[in-house]
A and B are shown apart, each in its own frame.
Chain A
C-alpha cells in the first residue's frame, strides 16, 4: 500500500464495513424466514432439515453484530483507492456473454467477453480485439465441442461447421 506508513488520522466508523454487517444480518433474517415458511415435511423429525439453517442464521447474526462493532471502531484493514471503469468493462463483458450466449452462440458471446476484458486492462481497440476474441473462442469451441464433446451452445457461426 502506498500510504501504509502514514499515521492514521483517527479511527472513524467504517461505513462500507457497516454495510457488510447489515448485509450479513439481512442474509441471516432471510434464512430464518425462508426456513420458517418451508412447509409440511419439515416438522416430522426433531432434528430435521430446519435445524442447520437456524444454527447458521443465528451464527450469521452474531457475526453481523461483531462486524458492526469492528466497523464502528474502524478496525478493518485499510483499502486502496479503486479504479472503477476497468471493473465495469469486465462486468459488462460477463453480462453481455451471459445475455447473448443462447442467441449468438459460444464463440461470438465469449469473443465479446474477451475484448471487453482486454479493454478493461487498457488494451484496445475493440475493432481489433473483438474479431481476435471470436477467432480464439471459436478455436476453443472447436476443440471442446468437437474434440471433447462438451455441450457448448452453438450460434450462427458454429452451425456453419
Chain B
C-alpha cells in the first residue's frame, strides 16, 4: 500500500531530532496557551504564528501541528477545572467534567479526556492519512466550477447552517468577503477598495483580523461586562489515574466519539462542536447509569472529548486535500501555509509529498507527546489557570500586538488591529458569529478566482457553474444548508441549532 510507505517516510522526517524538538516546543506552547481561560484553539494558533516565522516550512508546520493539538488538549483542561470553557467545542466537556471535578473526581475526568483525545487523535490522524490520497485523486478531476460550488457550500455551512440566526451568520460572512476584496486583484492587478492607501494594497492579513476579533474583541467584551463571571478553579484531589470501572465506562465512548467526530470534521460542515453535542446525546442514551448524567458522568467527558479531537483532525482533510478551511482555526492554518507560498490542495500532495506526509506524521508524534506530557504536568497547567484576569488579558494583548508588529512593524497595521478589535466587540455584543468573518476573508478571494476561471473557460457562459453533476449536488447541498435550518427555526426547533453555534471554531 502506497499510504504506508508515504506515512513511514513522513515518520522518518518527523522523528529527526530537530523536528522532534519543534514538535515538543509546539505541543508545550500550544497546551500552555490553550489552557488559559478565554483562549480557544483559533486564537492559540493565531497568537503563536509569529514564533514560526523564521523557521523553515517543514519545521514551522511541524511546530504548528503540535500547537494545534496542544491547544485542543489545553482547552479541555480549562473546561474541566474551570466552568468557563476556553472554546465552544469544550462546552459539553464542561457539563460533566466540571461536575466530576466538583465531586473530587477531577483527576479521572482529566485522564479520560486526555486518553480519549489521544485515542481519537490517533485513529483520526490515521483516518486522515488513508482518506486524503483518495480525496486528492477525486479532487484532481475538479474544475473551477466544482471548486466554486464547494466553496459556496463551505460558505453556507460555516455561516448560515448553525447558530441562532441565518441573517447574522450571512452578514458576518459578507463582512469577511468585503474585507477579502480589499487589495490588488490577483488576475488583473487592479487595486480594489484600497482608497489610495499603500498599506491596503496587499490586502488584509488573516492573522491580524483573527487576533483582533478573538483577542482584542474578547478582552473588550470581558472588560465591559458588568456582572463578573464566577470563576472557581476546582482543585485536583487524589489520584489522576482512572480505576477499573472508569476504564470500562470510557473505552466505548472514546471509540463512538471518534466515529462521530471524524466524519463531521472531514465534511465541509464547520465546527467541532456539532460532533461533541451529538456524542454527548448518544452517550446519554446508551449509558447504563442515566442518573449520573448532569452530575458528573464519565461517559459524558470521554465521548465528547474524543469527538472534539477527532473532528479537529477531520478538519485537516478538507484543508490539506482541497485547500478548504471550514473553521476559523483552519483558516489561520491556511494563512500559515501561505506565508511560505504553499497552497494546500491536491497539488501540494503531488509536488511536496515530503512536507505533507511529514506534517501528518508529526500530528501522530504530537499526539504521543501530549499524552505523555499532559497528565504529569497537570500541576503546572492548574497554576496557569489561576492567573488573575487583569494579568491574563494584559498579557494576551501584549502577545496579540507582538504578532501583528512582528508580521508588519507599522502603526497602520496596529490601527487595523484596533479597528477590527472594536468590530469584534460589536459582533459579540449583537450576537454575530466570528468564524464566518475569518473564513470569508481567506476563502472569498479564492472563490472569486475559481468563479472567474470557470467563466473565462466557458467564455462567459454562466451555465458552466451547473455543468457537472458534482457541482449541481454541491450547490443543492449549499441551498439546503441555508433553507433547512430556516424551516427548523420557523417551526420553533431553533434551540438545538443555537446550541450548536460556534464562537471560536
Contacts and interface: CB of A to CB of B under 8 A. Distances in A.
A39 B417 CA distance: 30
A94 to B, nearest CB: 5
A118 B394 contact: yes
B190 A42 contact: yes
A150 B53 contact: yes
Contacts of A137: 398
B174 A56 contact: yes
Contacts of B141: none
B253 interface: no
Greatest chain A CB density within 10 A among B51, B54, B391 is at B391
Contacts of B422: 91
Given A2-B227, A90-B223, A148-B54, A110 B456 contact: no
B430 interface: yes
A80 to B, nearest CB: 6
A63 B487 CA distance: 19
Contacts of B170: 59, 63
- A67, A82, A89, A133: most-surrounded residue (chain B CB, <10 A): A82
Contacts of A35: 192
B401 interface: yes
A152 B224 contact: no
B178 A49 contact: no
B188 A49 contact: yes
A34 B223 contact: no
Given A42-B190, A87-B223, A31 B178 contact: yes
B405 A152 contact: yes
A16 B430 CA distance: 9
B172 to A, nearest CB: 10
Contact of B223 (A47, A83, A110): A83
A151 B409 contact: yes
B220 interface: yes
Contacts of B426: 20
Contact of A123 (B390, B399, B402, B421): B390
Contacts of A66: 167
B252 interface: no
B393 A117 contact: yes
A94 B226 contact: no
Contact of B224 (A59, A77, A83, A113): A83
A51 B462 CA distance: 13
B455 A80 contact: no
Nearest to A75: B165
A82 B397 contact: no
A101 B190 contact: no
Contacts of A2: 227
B406 interface: yes
Interface in B219-243: 219-220, 222-227
B58 interface: no
Interface in B40-72: 50-51, 53-54
Interface of A: 2, 16-17, 20, 24, 27, 30-31, 34-35, 38-39, 41-42, 45-49, 51-53, 56, 59-60, 63, 66-67, 70, 76-77, 79-84, 86-87, 89-91, 93-95, 97-99, 101-102, 106, 110, 113-115, 117-118, 120-123, 129, 133, 136-137, 140, 144, 148-153
Give the top 9 A-B pairs by smallest Cβ distance, nearest first.
Answer: A121-B390, A123-B390, A86-B223, A98-B414, A49-B185, A117-B394, A150-B406, A47-B455, A77-B431
24 contacts: A16-B430, A41-B189, A46-B455, A47-B456, A47-B460, A49-B190, A59-B177, A67-B171, A76-B430, A76-B431, A79-B429, A81-B226, A82-B225, A91-B418, A91-B422, A93-B397, A98-B418, A113-B397, A120-B390, A136-B398, A149-B54, A150-B54, A150-B406, A152-B409
